[in-house]
Structure 1
C-alpha cells in the first residue's frame, strides 16, 4: 500500500496542469498535499494557444501534467508551450508528466517513406525545454530510448491488478490480444498468483482493423482477462472477446490503462461480450462514451508517488518490485 508522501521541500515543488485532464491533475495534487499552480490559458481568434504562469517559479522544480489525448495536436502543442513558459520563467527543472503519450504507435519504420512519430514527439518535448519525462504505460518500451533526457516509466497495471484481486475471480486466465503484448500479459499474470497465459494470434490488415485467427492456450470454462495498454476503436478487443467466447471462456473481462475510445469503441465494448471493461483515468472519458460495463480506476496515487520520488531523488522503479 502506497503511503501519503511527506515532501521535504514543498516550496520548491510546483505542479501545473494543461487542459487535457485537469481532474486527474487535481487528484495528483491532493495526493501530494499541494495546490495546482495558477495559470492562464486562452485561445486567440485564429486558434493559437496562449499560456501564462501566474506565480513565481524561479528556482522551482516544476511538474507539468498533460496527456497527449484527443485532440492530440492541441494537447501536444499546449504541453510544449507550457514547457517553454516555465523555461523562460527560470524554473530550475521541468518534468513533463505524460499519462498518455500520443503518436506512440508509429515507433519504427514498417514500410518506406514514413515518419517515426514517437521519436519526433520525443525530440519536440526535449527541444521545448523539458529536463525529465514521467510517462505511464508507453505503447512500446523502446520509446524510452527516443529521449535524450531521463525518463521514468510507470505502469497502470498495479491499479488494475489490485482491483481484479479484490474480485477473487476463479479459474483465471490472462490473455494477450496479440503476440506483441505477451510480455505485458505475462507480467500481469504473474502478479495474479501466476495465472495461466493465453495468446490471440491475429493478422492486422490495416490500421485499426484486426482479423483474429486462433487462440494459443486453454481458455475453455475459464474467466478470461484480456490485457492491453490502450483501447482505441476496440476492434481488436471485440474480435478477441468473440473468439474467446467461441473457444469456451465462461466470462471475459477487458483491462487497459488508456481508454482512447475512438469512434465505435463504446458501442463495441457494451455489446454484451464483456462482463466488465476496466481502465484507468489517464484519459478523460466523455459522458457519451461511458457505458454500464465500464469501470474507471484512478492512477493518481501512482503518478503522485512517482512525482514525489523523483523530487526526493529516490527510486521510482522500486515502486513495482
Structure 2
C-alpha cells in the first residue's frame, strides 16, 4: 500500500454491515483492516473473536447499521465489548449510517426515543468516541456522553454537481419535504442557486411547491432514500409546477422495496447517493449514481487520531479528501 500509515498505535476493524466501504475507508486512512472473525450460531446468536492483539491500541470499528439493522447493532455492541475486554486503549465507533436516528423525539404519545437508546447502549458497551455521517438531525449528537463527530455529505454533493457545471441561475435546489430545509439551504449556497420546498402529504402523494421552479433544473436533497416515494412524488409535483428537469441526491441509500421500481419510473434524470449503506446491485435503480464517502471518513479518522482540526472537512475546500 503506497500510502501506508506508519503509526502502529492504531488499528482499524470492520464488521459485516458494509465491508466494501470499510476496505475503502481503511485504504484512505493508510491501513489494512485488522483480523477478526464474526460467527453466527444456528439460533442467530453472534460470536466475535479479535484475531490479533489490541492491547494499548487506539481501535476503530467500522459498521454501517443498514439492513439487517438489528443484527448490525448487535455485532457492533459485541465487538465493542470484545475490544474493551482485550484492553484496547480507545474504542472509536465509525458509523457511516446511524440507524434509528429518525426516532429522535416523541412525536406521538407513548413513543420511545430509540436514537437515545442506541446512544446509551453504545456508551455503556464501552465506546469512547463516535464518528458518523449526516445524522437525520444534528441534535442526536447530544444523546451521547462521549465525543461525537458528525460529518456532512453536502460538500461531496456540491463537488459532484460543480464538476458537472450544475450551478447558478438555471438551477434550484429543492427540499422534497418541509423538514429538510437546512440541508437544502447548505447545498444551494454551495451551488449559488435559489431554493424551493415541496410541501407534500406522503400518505396521499399530493402537495404543492413553495418557490419558483418554472423553467429550472431542480436538484432535490434528502438524507435518507428509503422506498423512494418521497422523491417520486416531489419530482412529479415539480414537473407539474413547470420544472425543466429534476435531479436528486441523498446521503444514505437504504433502497427498501419497491425503491428500484419507484425511482426508475419517477421523473428523475439522475439520483446521486453515497456508499454509506450496502445494498445488492439488483436493488440499484438504473438512474442512480454512487459517490464514495470513504476518503472523507478516512481523513476524519486520521484527524481524530492525530488530534488535528476537523473543521476543514465541513466545507467544500480543500478537495484532496474527495
TM over 0.5: yes
**1:90-101 to 2 correspondence within 5 Å?**
90-101=87-98
SS at match of 1:268: helix
2:244 maps to 1:245: no
- Give the secondary-structure state (helix, strand or coil) at the position aligned to 2:222: strand
1:272 shift after superposition: 4.4
Deviations 1:137-185 (A, max 9, x none): 0011110100010000101222211111111136110001122110110
Counterparts of 1:59 and 1:271, CA distance in 2: 53
CA contact (8 A) 1:154 1:317 kept: no
What's the offset of the Cα at 1:210?
6.1
Aligned residue for 1:11, secondary structure, equals coil
Within 5 A, what are the aligned runs for 1:176-255? 176-192=175-191, 194-204=192-202, 209=203, 211-255=205-249
Matched-pair contact (CA < 8 Å) for 1:16–1:65 = yes
The DSSP-based 3-state class of the residue aligned with 1:138 is coil
The CA RMSD measured in Å over matched residues stands at 1.5
Are 2:164 and 1:167 aligned?
A: yes
2:273 to 265, 269, 279: 279
Q: Secondary structure at the match of 1:215?
A: strand
TM-score with structure 2 setting the length:
0.94
Contact 2:57/2:90, CA 8 A, preserved across alignment: yes
Paired with 2:302 and 2:50, the residues of 1 have a C-alpha distance of: 22
Separation of aligned partners in 2, 1:113 and 1:253: 38
**Structure 1 stretches lacking a partner, 5+ long:** none
1:1-321 → structure 2 map (5 Å cutoff):
7=5, 10-169=7-166, 171-192=170-191, 194-204=192-202, 209=203, 211-321=205-315
Q: Please, what TM-score do these two structures have when normalized by structure 1? A: 0.94
Which SS does the other structure have where 1:126 is aligned? helix
CA distance in 1, matches of 2:39, 2:120: 26
1:67-124 CA distance string (max 9 Å, x none): 1110000001101111111111100001110000011111101111111101011001
Q: Residue 318 of structure 1: CA displacement? A: 2.7
Please list the CA deviations of residues 197-252 of structure 1 after superposition, one character each: whole Å capped at 9, or x if unmatched.
00111235xxxx46432111011111100000010111111100000010111111
Query: How many residues are treated as equivalent by the alignment?
Result: 312
**Structure 1 residue 6 displacement after superposition:** 8.1
**SS in structure 1 of the partner of residue 92 of structure 2:** strand
Q: SS of the counterpart of 1:51?
A: strand
Q: Which runs of 5+ in 2 are unaligned?
A: 316-322
CA contact (8 A) 2:94 2:132 kept: yes
